[in-house]
Every structure is written in structure tokens, then in C-alpha cells.
């Protein structure tokens, strides 16, 4: 078959790594700069595969390209792909689930510590001429806290591993992980409401699905005790940002550390007006090492498929066991 593969998006500095791997397997890789499905459909020429970084791939894209054989995502989450539509059409979807586990876990811990120790606020105070350790209010030892981990997959467990040294009590909410497995990692299994009610710090690591979209909503914030710290390095849409802003205003959320927002980059976001909200630019995944691993993993998934092999990371594995239905 003609191995015409498209790479969409503008985040990467270049696509040299993927291009070399794909071409060594007998394919060709073309990079196109598009930001929407409509632009992709207009710009592309019936590819066999699409590698996407941030461009949404919905059923209109799949139906526009009758020879589409696979979709590859540069990243862990595949929420930009209509997975049901791909599965219905027999199109496998690949991802890169392990490339930034260390980075996201470390960044999460950095946000937790920055909030708990008021690092950014103290920095601003000193640069404005202040020198008062009490300027940001009372600070309690981290070891006195209970941390609630929402989503106990690979990243959540990496965060827990790092938190263990701080001697915190850890609650975990994940309907897909057994109590025995969580206990093995030093986590007490809790339902979502119990976690919200009993956690001093809540850190979010669940994938974005229809069941987790705005999981942390107004009702969740109302169930939390006063003075909670919320950290989100997963997906912005998991948290209702209007409800979060209101929770910050009334003091339910004392501090928030956010690496992701509903709109990126943000425009006129209320959360940016709060000194007690620390925001980083969806950077938790990033290190030069992680970037290299991301490009390599994505390229090798595609190369394996081109060679007729089973890629290492297939999200909807069932499609590989059935004949392609086509459009």
C-alpha cells in the first residue's frame, strides 16, 4: 500500500525523528500546519495514516479519507480523537503512554509544594520590597496533610511514589483499580465524594472522557473542606473552571496549581487574576528527554504498523482482531 502519512500540528520543533523512523519502514511523512478538522480535510491528500499532536480527528476526517488505516496520537490522552468512530470503522488508534511519566509526576509535586510553601507568593512579595515570612498566612507541615489522588493510573502512581517520602496520608479514587492494588501502593481507596470531603490536597490524573468531563464541579467544591489545594496536570476540561473560580473567591480552595486550562492559551480567564492560583503553560510533560521519547514512540508505532507488525501502544486493540469495515 501507499504509505502516505500526515503529521499535523505545530508544537514540535521539527519532525525529523518521526520522518526518519517512518521512512526507514518504507513510508513517507508529510508535516502540515493545520489547527482544525476543516483545514486538515482541505489540506490533506487521502493519507493512509494521520499522526496528530493537537488537531481533532473526528468522524468527518475519517469519512473524508477512505484509505485511512490508522491514527497516531503524540501523547497519552486520546481525547482529540473520536475513539468510538475510529473503532466503528476498524481504524486503530495509537498513543504514547509512557514518555513523560516522570516529568508530569515531578511537575505535579512542584505545583503541590509551590502552593503549600507559597513559593510564588513569597517571591512576588520579596521582589515588591517585602521581607516577612508571615505575609502569606500560617503554613502547616506537609506531613499533616491528606492528599487525594483522582486517577491512579501510571502518572497517579508516580505522583504517589514521590509523595510517600513526605509522610502524607493518601486517598485514591479510581473505579478501575482494585482496593488491593491501591493498598499495595500505600493508598486508601475512597469514592469520589469521600475523597473530596477528606482531602487537604487534591491532585487530578484521570484521562478526559465523557464521565470525567467537569468531574470536579460546583457540587464537588461544595463538599470540600475550607482551605483545599487543588492541582490539575491532566486536562483542563476535567475541572469546571467557573466553579473553581467561585471556590477560590469564597476560600474553599485556598491554592490551586494548574498546568492545564479549558482554553489554551487562555483569554480573559478569571483564574489568572488570583495571586493564589499558580498556572504553568501545559508544560508538565516537557523535558528534552521526554520530547525525544515522544517522537521516538510515536514514530515506532507507525513504523510497526507499516511493516505489518502490531504496534506497542494501541488504544482500541479490538480492531486489530477484526476485518476493517471501511467507510
**Are the C-beta atoms of residues 303 and 27 closer than 8 Å to each other?**
yes
Q: All 3 cell numbers of residue 303?
A: 513504523
Which stretch of DSSP H or E encloses residue 179?
Answer: helix 179-184
Spatial separation of the C-alpha atoms in residues 182 and 178, rounded to whole Å:
6
Q: How much is the CA Rg of the chain, to the nearest whole Å?
A: 22
Q: Strand 253-258 relative to strand 228-232: parallel, antiparallel, unpaired?
A: parallel
DSSP-assigned letters across all residues of 298-320: HHHHHHHHHTTPPPS-BTTGGGG
Helix H or strand E encompassing 169: strand 169-173
Cα–Cα separations (whole angstroms), residue 260 to 35, 116, 130, 135, 285: 19, 19, 31, 28, 11
Determine contact, residues 30/50, Cβ cutoff 8 Å: no
User: Residues 6 or more apart from 19 whose CB is under 8 A from it?
Assistant: 29
Q: Which residues, listed in sequence order, are joined to residue 229 by a DSSP beta bridge?
A: 201, 255
- Classified as helix, coil or strand, 69 is coil
* C-alpha atoms less than 13 angstroms from C-alpha of 6 in its C-beta half-sphere: 24
Which sequence positions are flagged as catalytic?
235, 264, 282
Phi, psi of 220 (to 5 degrees): -65, -45
CA-based max dimension of the chain:
69
Check the CA dihedral 85-87-91-96 and report its sign.
positive
Amino acid at each position: 500500500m501507499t504509505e502516505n502519512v500526515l503529521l499535523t500540528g505545530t508544537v514540535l520543533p521539527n519532525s525529523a525523528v518521526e520522518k526518519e523512523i517512518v521512512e526507514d519502514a518504507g513510508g513517507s511523512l508529510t508535516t502540515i500546519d493545520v489547527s482544525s478538522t476543516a483545514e486538515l480535510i482541505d489540506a490533506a491528500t487521502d493519507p493512509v495514516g494521520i499522526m496528530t499532536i493537537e488537531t481533532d480527528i473526528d468522524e468527518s476526517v475519517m469519512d473524508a479519507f477512505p484509505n485511512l488505516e490508522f491514527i497516531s496520537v503524540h501523547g497519552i490522552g486520546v481525547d482529540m480523537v473520536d475513539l468510538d468512530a475510529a473503532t466503528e470503522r476498524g481504524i486503530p488508534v495509537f498513543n504514547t503512554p509512557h514518555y513523560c511519566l516522570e516529568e508530569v509526576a515531578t511537575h505535579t509535586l512542584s505545583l503541590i509544594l509551590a502552593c503549600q510553601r507559597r513559593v510564588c507568593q513569597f517571591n512576588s512579595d520579596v521582589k515588591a520590597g517585602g521581607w516577612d515570612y508571615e505575609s502569606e498566612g500560617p503554613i502547616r507541615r506537609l506531613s499533616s496533610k491528606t492528599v487525594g489522588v483522582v486517577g491512579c493510573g501510571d502518572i497517579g502512581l508516580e505522583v504517589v511514589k514521590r509523595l510517600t517520602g513526605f509522610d502524607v496520608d493518601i486517598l485514591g479514587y479510581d473505579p478501575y483499580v482494585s482496593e488491593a492494588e491501591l493498598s499495595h501502593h500505600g493508598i486508601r481507596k475512597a469514592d469520589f465524594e469521600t475523597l473530596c470531603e477528606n482531602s487537604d490536597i487534591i491532585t487530578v490524573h484521570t484521562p478526559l472522557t465523557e464521565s470525567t468531563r467537569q468531574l470536579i464541579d460546583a457540587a464537588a467544591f461544595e463538599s470540600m473542606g475550607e482551605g483545599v489545594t487543588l492541582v490539575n496536570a491532566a486536562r483542563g476540561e476535567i475541572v469546571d473552571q467557573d466553579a473553581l473560580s467561585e471556590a477560590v473567591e469564597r476560600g474553599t480552595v485556598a491554592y490551586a496549581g494548574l498546568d492545564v486550562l479549558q482554553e489554551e492559551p487562555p483569554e480573559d480567564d478569571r483564574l489568572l487574576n488570583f495571586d493564589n492560583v499558580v498556572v504553568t503553560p501545559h508544560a508538565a510533560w516537557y523535558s528534552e528527554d521526554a520530547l525525544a521519547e515522544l517522537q521516538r514512540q510515536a514514530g515506532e508505532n507507525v513504523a510497526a504498523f507499516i511493516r505489518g507488525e502490531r504496534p506497542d501502544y494501541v488504544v482500541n486493540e479490538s480492531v486489530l482482531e477484526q476485518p476493517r469495515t471501511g467507510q
